[in-house]
């Protein structure tokens, strides 16, 4: 009994693909684009099916035994979270579902930096320039926007596998505190700190952002973790970020956005990839940051950069398909094939965006202590 019949819609189609009940010949992204186009073109004024059509569909469903209780998930792990939405324990479970799957899986999918966020493609037409270059350019851009220098106290909230934290310590000699809810990420990062001899500059902690102690940081980052905070909790999150900064300290938030009518990731993504996620229009995020007492000084869209980044991950998945199947099984590999193809398409077609938002905590008399222009952030000879 195919999931499409028992659960029509986005999730049913996705689960039918995961189970192998349906497939797409040729380019998966092109197939998804065609399906999305048909759904978009129907719109609210599209003709409704006639009663006779519905009756014929019902009779066919009974003949095929395609009615009845929903079948179990087709071989890939659904997120099954308990407890109060965005409680610390539920947030930990949601993060674990996505990020604790396997460090080996992410090491195969990502580049050597292990950056799992949008890259910054400064030379996209150069055939010698690839994903790892784009990620390093992104890490450098963030460090320059934050004004990191030797000894600067830097807090990396939602540090992932440590790409930014390690880069800031190694290249800028910043004193870094890195925070994650993922035990797998914490252990991976601790090993890299030791391997790279950065124990005197980087400390990684397994804790919720609500439980971060201290303050007075020169710089704070939240790179694609605000999507996991929740809608109702975001004002408290921005207030916490404000409180962690010293006056004149800088904050950089890199965050995905969607339109007002589609704040989450959709049924498929929230069931199999990132449960409890919430995205909002970028302007709303700016409003929330400013309401917390921060002053937003720069918003830079990276939408096209994310389409390139996700396409690079997708190509790696396809090129090493048999290795991924051997590691996690075909249903999970198909989850990720669908997720990456659909996500790249969403950014290409402007259904999703991603932005770097730079903010500062001004002093009481309005001093922000930022450069007069952003010129130093860009270019091969950008100043630190």
pLDDT of residue 65: 45
pLDDT of residue 383: 43
Euclidean distance between CA atoms 71 and 275, whole angstroms: 20
Per-residue pLDDT in tens (0 to 9) along the chain, 384 residues: 445 444 556 777 788 878 787 777 767 776 666 665 555 555 555 555 555 554 554 455 444 444 444 454 556 678 888 899 889 899 888 888 777 788 999 999 999 999 999 999 999 999 999 999 999 999 999 999 999 999 999 999 999 999 999 999 999 999 999 999 999 999 999 999 999 999 999 999 999 999 999 999 999 999 999 999 999 999 999 999 999 999 999 999 999 998 766 555 678 888 888 888 889 999 999 999 999 999 999 999 999 999 999 999 999 999 999 999 999 999 999 999 999 999 999 999 999 999 999 999 999 999 999 999 999 999 654 544
Q: What is this structure's pTM?
A: 0.86
pLDDT of residue 76: 66
pLDDT of residue 344: 95
pLDDT of residue 258: 87
pLDDT of residue 62: 46
Distances in whole angstroms, Cα of residue 71 to Cα of each of 1, 81, 201, 312:
7, 19, 51, 34
Strand, coil or helix: 252: strand
pLDDT of residue 64: 43
Radius of gyration of the chain (CA): 22
DSSP H/E element including 251: strand 245-258
Structure tokens at 184: 């797998």
User: Own/partner pairs for 143-146, CB < 8 Å, 24+ apart?
Assistant: 143/167, 143/168, 143/171, 143/172, 143/174, 143/384, 144/376, 144/377, 144/382, 144/383, 144/384, 145/250, 145/252, 145/298, 145/356, 145/358, 145/374, 145/377, 146/219, 146/221, 146/250, 146/252, 146/358
């Amino acid at each position: 009994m195919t999931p499409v019949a028992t659960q029509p819609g986005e999730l049913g189609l996705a689960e039918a693909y995961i189970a192998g009940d349906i497939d797409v010949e040729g380019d998966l992204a092109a197939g998804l684009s065609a399906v999305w186009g048909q759904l978009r073109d129907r719109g609210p004024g599209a003709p409704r099916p006639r009663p006779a059509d519905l009756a014929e569909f019902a009779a066919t469903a009974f003949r095929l035994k395609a009615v009845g209780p929903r079948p179990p998930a087709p071989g890939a792990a659904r997120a099954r979270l308990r407890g109060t939405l965005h409680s610390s324990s539920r947030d930990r479970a949601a993060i674990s579902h996505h990020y604790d799957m396997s460090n080996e899986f992410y090491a195969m999918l990502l580049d050597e930096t292990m950056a799992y966020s949008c890259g910054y493609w400064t030379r996209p037409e150069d055939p010698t320039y690839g994903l790892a270059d784009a990620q390093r350019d992104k890490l450098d851009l963030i460090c320059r926007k934050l004004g990191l220098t030797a000894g600067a106290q830097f807090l990396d909230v939602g540090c992932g596998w440590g790409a930014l934290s390690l880069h800031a310590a190694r290249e800028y000699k910043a004193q870094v505190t890195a925070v994650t809810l993922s035990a797998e990420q914490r252990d991976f990062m601790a090993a890299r700190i030791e391997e790279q001899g950065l124990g005197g500059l980087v400390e990684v902690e397994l804790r919720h952002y609500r439980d971060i102690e201290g303050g007075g940081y020169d710089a704070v980052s939240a790179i694609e973790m605000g999507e996991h905070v929740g809608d109702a909790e975001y004002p408290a999150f921005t207030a916490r970020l404000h409180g962690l900064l010293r006056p004149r300290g800088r904050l950089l938030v890199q965050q995905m956005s969607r339109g007002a009518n589609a704040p989450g990731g959709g049924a498929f993504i929230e069931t199999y990839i990132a449960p409890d996620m919430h995205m909002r229009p970028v302007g709303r995020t700016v409003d929330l940051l400013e309401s917390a007492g921060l002053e937003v000084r720069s918003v830079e869209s990276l939408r096209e950069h994310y389409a390139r980044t996700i396409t690079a991950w997708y190509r790696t998945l396809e090129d090493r398909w048999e290795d991924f199947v051997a590691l996690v099984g075909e249903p999970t590999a198909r989850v990720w094939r669908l997720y990456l193809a659909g996500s790249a398409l969403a950014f290409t077609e402007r259904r999703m965006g991603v932005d770097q938002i730079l903010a500062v905590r001004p002093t009481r008399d309005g001093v922000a202590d930022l450069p007069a222009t952003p010129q130093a952030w860009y270019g091969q000879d950008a100043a630190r």
